């Protein structure tokens, strides 16, 4: 299975009140998620990015500027089994 890497800026912050790592992806409308550990927050963020891109493709929602790379990545992504 081929893998495509598309870089996104991910902002990670420790929320001292909730005791979780919170992530934001500014290029994708500021989507946000969290995890109890840094690794979990990053994993959740990857899933959120994929969900955003899949929904954008299905609903024909325009992607952010400089989205040619994103479109190419989505076109090369293997179909779900």
Give the CATH number for residue 29.
3.30.160
What does the pLDDT read at residue 8? 84
**How many alpha carbons lie under 13 Å from residue 69 in its C-beta half-sphere?**
8
Residue 20: how many other CB atoms lie within 10 Å: 17
* Spatial separation of the C-alpha atoms in residues 18 and 26, rounded to whole Å: 22
* Spatial separation of the C-alpha atoms in residues 77 and 1, rounded to whole Å: 9
Pairwise pLDDT comparison (79 vs 64), residue with the higher score: 64
Q: Is residue 6 part of a domain?
A: no
Three-state DSSP state, 59: coil
* Total domains in the fold of the chain: 1
Does residue 37 have a pLDDT over 50?
yes
Q: Is residue 54 part of a domain?
A: yes
Q: Is residue 34 part of a domain?
A: yes
């Amino acid at each position: 299975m081929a893998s495509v890497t598309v870089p996104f800026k991910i902002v990670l912050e420790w929320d001292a009140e909730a005791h979780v790592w919170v992530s934001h992806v500014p290029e994708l409308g500021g989507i946000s998620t969290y995890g109890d550990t840094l690794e979990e927050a990053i994993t959740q963020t990857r899933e959120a990015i994929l969900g955003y891109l899949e929904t954008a493709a299905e609903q024909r929602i325009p992607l952010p500027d400089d989205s040619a790379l994103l479109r190419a990545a989505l076109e090369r992504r293997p179909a779900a089994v």
